[in-house]
Amino acid sequence: MDQKEAKHRYWRANLRLVAACLVVWFTISFGFGIVLADSLDNFSLLGVRLGFWFAQQGAIFGFIGIIFFYAWRMSHIDREHDVDEE
Protein backbone atom coordinates (compact mmCIF):
# COMPACT_ATOMS: atom_id res chain seq x y z
CA MET A 1 0.00 0.00 0.00
CA ASP A 2 1.43 3.37 -0.87
CA GLN A 3 1.79 6.20 1.62
CA LYS A 4 -0.96 8.35 0.10
CA GLU A 5 -3.50 5.54 0.50
CA ALA A 6 -2.38 4.97 4.11
CA LYS A 7 -2.87 8.68 4.94
CA HIS A 8 -6.28 8.61 3.31
CA ARG A 9 -7.37 5.58 5.38
CA TYR A 10 -6.05 7.20 8.57
CA TRP A 11 -7.92 10.46 8.02
CA ARG A 12 -11.07 8.62 7.00
CA ALA A 13 -10.98 6.72 10.31
CA ASN A 14 -10.29 9.96 12.17
CA LEU A 15 -13.16 11.81 10.50
CA ARG A 16 -15.55 8.92 11.15
CA LEU A 17 -14.66 9.04 14.84
CA VAL A 18 -15.10 12.83 14.98
CA ALA A 19 -18.48 12.57 13.22
CA ALA A 20 -19.67 9.88 15.64
CA CYS A 21 -18.56 11.96 18.64
CA LEU A 22 -20.35 15.02 17.28
CA VAL A 23 -23.57 13.04 16.78
CA VAL A 24 -23.44 11.77 20.37
CA TRP A 25 -22.65 15.26 21.67
CA PHE A 26 -25.52 16.78 19.65
CA THR A 27 -27.93 14.10 20.85
CA ILE A 28 -27.02 14.64 24.49
CA SER A 29 -26.92 18.43 24.49
CA PHE A 30 -29.65 19.35 22.00
CA GLY A 31 -31.78 16.21 22.02
CA PHE A 32 -31.91 15.43 25.73
CA GLY A 33 -31.33 18.97 27.02
CA ILE A 34 -33.78 20.82 24.77
CA VAL A 35 -36.03 18.69 22.55
CA LEU A 36 -36.80 15.88 25.01
CA ALA A 37 -36.52 17.99 28.17
CA ASP A 38 -40.28 18.07 28.83
CA SER A 39 -40.59 14.30 28.46
CA LEU A 40 -37.54 13.67 30.61
CA ASP A 41 -38.89 15.96 33.35
CA ASN A 42 -41.31 13.14 34.27
CA PHE A 43 -38.29 11.39 35.81
CA SER A 44 -35.88 12.62 38.43
CA LEU A 45 -32.22 12.10 39.23
CA LEU A 46 -31.18 12.80 42.84
CA GLY A 47 -34.32 14.88 43.29
CA VAL A 48 -33.77 16.98 40.16
CA ARG A 49 -35.93 16.76 37.05
CA LEU A 50 -34.03 14.75 34.44
CA GLY A 51 -34.63 17.20 31.58
CA PHE A 52 -33.25 20.06 33.65
CA TRP A 53 -30.31 17.90 34.76
CA PHE A 54 -29.37 17.07 31.15
CA ALA A 55 -29.58 20.74 30.20
CA GLN A 56 -27.41 21.86 33.11
CA GLN A 57 -25.07 18.97 33.99
CA GLY A 58 -25.66 16.00 31.72
CA ALA A 59 -24.35 17.72 28.60
CA ILE A 60 -21.14 18.67 30.43
CA PHE A 61 -20.59 15.13 31.75
CA GLY A 62 -21.38 13.74 28.32
CA PHE A 63 -18.86 16.08 26.70
CA ILE A 64 -16.14 15.08 29.18
CA GLY A 65 -16.93 11.43 28.51
CA ILE A 66 -16.66 12.04 24.77
CA ILE A 67 -13.24 13.67 25.24
CA PHE A 68 -11.91 10.64 27.11
CA PHE A 69 -13.47 8.24 24.58
CA TYR A 70 -11.97 10.20 21.67
CA ALA A 71 -8.48 10.15 23.20
CA TRP A 72 -8.72 6.42 23.94
CA ARG A 73 -10.04 5.56 20.48
CA MET A 74 -7.54 7.81 18.67
CA SER A 75 -4.66 6.04 20.40
CA HIS A 76 -5.98 2.77 18.97
CA ILE A 77 -6.39 4.29 15.51
CA ASP A 78 -2.87 5.76 15.67
CA ARG A 79 -1.40 2.37 16.57
CA GLU A 80 -3.47 0.64 13.90
CA HIS A 81 -2.15 3.00 11.22
CA ASP A 82 1.38 3.06 12.66
CA VAL A 83 1.44 6.80 13.41
CA ASP A 84 1.60 6.59 17.20
CA GLU A 85 4.22 8.55 19.09
CA GLU A 86 5.91 5.53 20.65
Torsion of CA 72, 73, 79, 80, to 10 degrees: 160
% helix, strand, coil for the chain, step of 5:
80, 5, 15
Residue 2 has pLDDT above 70, yes or no: yes
Long-range pairs, 33-42, Cβ under 8 A, ≥24: 33/58, 33/59
Residue 83 has pLDDT above 90, yes or no: no
Q: pLDDT tens, 12-34?
A: 999 999 999 999 999 998 888 88
- Give the pLDDT score at 45: 80
Give CA–CA dist 44/77, Å, rounded: 38
pTM of the model: 0.83
Q: pLDDT tens, 45-69?
A: 888 898 888 888 888 999 999 999 9
Amino acid at 74: M
